[in-house]
Amino acid sequence: MRIALFDYGAGNLHSLHKALERPGVTVTVERDPLAAIAADALVLPGVGAFQAATAALGAHGPAVCDAIRAGLPTLGICLGMQLLFDASDEGGGAGLGVVPGRVRRFDATRVPQIGWNPLVTADDPLLAASALAVPYYANSFVGAPTDDGCVVAWGEHEGDRFPAMVRVGACVGAQFHPEKSSTPGVSFVHAWVREARERTAARVATTGTADVASAAGETGGLADTTTDARPSRT
């Protein structure tokens, strides 16, 4: 399985790259959005600013959004999770729009939030598999979805409740940095890799190809599979 780590051109991706490395998995760093969505799974990292990330996507944002909605296993971390929303108060261009809503600034005195902060509520198989309860954050902005039904874990910073994790179909967004969250955080990444591998195998069995775009081309377009793709929670 090949995982594409999308590079906004903003910083060091070494720790995340290392966490993603597993037997039978090839991790490639891609600056071309179309090359990134041609992989079996996609990671949107948490390094950089919203405007720089949308600029890196350029005119290919809709294609990336379509691939994710069609079932491409995706993990968005910190900024990468925020990029899943429609837009951000941080400024910049349009987000991917996978999660309807807007990114807002923390309503708190201490901003950015930097450090360990326990999850207030958590209901997702990745969190259960990794026993990740106290993740590491480094953020000034948080997502505000129009429908809280996509939120599978909540956090709180100085009384400001925020989505710590969202899930839409095969797409997972984590406001925290799992790769910096000690052993449980790395276990979270490994659990996501296992989930992505299972989804890829299921897609190959159904369509004969792991390429979301190729499979969609046979039916004349990218189908939205977000409802059926969501796994049961434990």
Tell me which residues are annotated as active site.
78, 177, 179
Phi, psi of 105 (to 5 degrees): -80, 145
Instruction: Check residue 223 and report its DSSP letter.
Output: -
Q: How many CB atoms lie within 10 A of CB 21?
A: 13
Q: Tell me how far apart the alpha carbons of residues 112 and 29 are, in angstroms, rounded to a whole number.
A: 28
Q: Tell me how far apart the alpha carbons of residues 108 and 111 are, in angstroms, rounded to a whole number.
A: 7
Question: How large is the angle between the packed helices 50-57 and 61-69, nearest 10 degrees?
Answer: 90
Closest CA to 4 of 221, 224, 213, 185: 213
Q: Tell me how far apart the alpha carbons of residues 39 and 21 are, in angstroms, rounded to a whole number.
A: 15
